[in-house]
Amino acid sequence: MDSGILENRYEFTKDGKAIIDISVESMNDLFNSFDKKASFVKRELDQDFVDYIIDSVKELGTREFLIRVSIDQEFNMLQENILRKAVANYFTYRYQIENLNLRKEVRKFTMLMMLGIVLFTIVSIYKLPDTPDIEVWKKILQEGMVVAAWVAIWEAVTSLIFGWNPYYIKRSIFERIASAELRVINNLLRFEY
């Protein structure tokens, strides 16, 4: 994205990192409301919080960033550390999921390519002579195998060109977020200066 637009949308640190700024009333607002009775350690992150971070990182592109969470109510150091760990764990988990999806896509590519090659090999080894006395069903079977081989190879190439890239992009985003600096600030103390 154009750096002029980013300059208007984000604050930047002195060393040039964009600040993804999130402001909430309490620490509870960052966690899923369905888990209210669970301790912070076992709670899921709020989906709006997660989506906002992901969208911001996408918008920033390759720029370095940090996440700043400003909280109106008081919180303790344990809650702050749990939030840091929860964010890192959640995005590490999402990175691992995308890794699994990428592996599935690689397996799909490999299986389809091998199927296409095997079918072409079978057709070329057992090629029927081009004579009029060959039974129709044998010709149909041979042509069907040629078509199936082309379809398998086409799907493999499509998977290679279009299937892998989204997983690489998501993995990169999740890895960057998991390793990003997370600052937690109490809004009450912030405005006293």
pLDDT digits 0-9 by tens, 25-74: 988 888 877 655 555 555 688 899 999 999 999 999 999 999 999 998 88
pLDDT of residue 134: 74
What is the CA angle 103-106-109, rounded to 5? Answer: 155
Q: How far apart are CA 103 and CA 51, in angstroms?
A: 25
CA distance 113 to 109: 6
pLDDT at site 64: 92
Separation of alpha carbons 21 and 52, rounded Å: 10
The segments of the chain whose pLDDT lies below 70 read 1-4, 34-43, 128, 188-193
